[in-house]
């Protein structure tokens, strides 16, 4: 069957003729449900737990992180929120690194990477990370454990709300990473393995 014949059949099925201009794409349909913040937080925590992550809400994130990293090494992002919480000043936490090679070496040697998140999606338990000098991808991807401390005000209902806020993410960042649960993969025999392409353990801390 020739190419022209195949294309003719496709056009016929679509009710179009040869040479007809392509119609403009319909405008995006964005639906943002009205969900109270307490319900968003509850959904976020439940979704993270369902994905084999750890999730909790606390009024004192610094105390939780201090206990979680006791006896371990950690590297923290330069997110202002982490500094406000006192997390970057905790013993054993390296932060303020701006040199890429130093940051890579620190992340490769650290037990835990600590970040905040630009946004979180309540319906899937997803963290939204915009690459920047404040939040580099290495800290959330290279250490075997990831702790994300997220202010509850950054929890959105889902992707529709995210893209209503960031309709063109490429204009703001070189990379937008969506993290949904610990890294996981399965081979052809469907044997699930965690931690192959990123942290094998993730903790999401929802803070004031």
Q: What is the pLDDT of residue 11?
A: 87
Q: What is the pLDDT of residue 46?
A: 98
Burial class (CB in 10 A: 0-12, 13-18, 19+), 176: middle
Question: 66 pLDDT band (50/70/90 cuts)?
Answer: very high
Q: Which helix (H) or strand (E) holds 205?
A: strand 201-207
The mean pLDDT of the chain is 92
The three-state secondary structure class of 122 is coil
Rounded to an integer, the average pLDDT of 110-132 is 97
Q: What is the pLDDT of residue 22?
A: 79
Q: What is the pLDDT of residue 14?
A: 85
Rounded to an integer, the average pLDDT of 99-113 is 96
pLDDT of 195 above 60? no
Q: What is the pTM of this model?
A: 0.84
Question: 184 pLDDT band (50/70/90 cuts)?
Answer: low
Q: 27-207 has which fold?
A: Rossmann fold (3.40.50)
Side-chain-side CA neighbours of 67 within 13 Å: the count stands at 5
Domain ranges, ordered by start, for the chain: 27-207
How far is Cα 82 from Cα 95, in angstroms, rounded to an integer? 10
Percent of the chain with pLDDT over 70: 93
């Amino acid at each position: 069957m020739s190419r022209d014949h195949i294309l003719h059949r496709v056009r016929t099925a679509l009710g179009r003729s040869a040479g007809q201009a392509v119609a403009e794409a319909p405008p995006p349909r964005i639906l943002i449900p009205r969900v109270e913040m307490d319900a968003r937080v509850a959904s976020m925590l439940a979704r993270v737990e369902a994905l084999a992550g750890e999730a909790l809400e606390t009024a004192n994130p610094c105390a939780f992180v201090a206990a979680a990293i006791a006896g371990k090494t950690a590297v923290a992002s330069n997110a202002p929120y982490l500094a406000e919480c006192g997390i970057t000043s905790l013993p054993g936490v390296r932060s303020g690194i701006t040199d890429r090679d130093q940051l890579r070496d620190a992340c490769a040697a650290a037990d835990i990477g600590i970040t905040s998140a630009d946004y979180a999606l309540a319906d899937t338990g997803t963290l939204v990370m915009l690459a920047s000098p404040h939040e580099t991808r290495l800290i959330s991807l290279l250490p075997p454990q990831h702790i994300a401390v997220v202010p509850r005000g950054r929890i959105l209902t889902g992707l529709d709300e995210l893209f209503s806020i960031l309709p063109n993410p490429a204009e703001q960042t070189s990379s937008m990473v969506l993290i949904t649960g610990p890294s996981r993969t399965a081979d052809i025999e469907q044997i699930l393995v965690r931690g192959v392409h990123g942290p094998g353990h993730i903790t999401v801390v929802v803070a004031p």
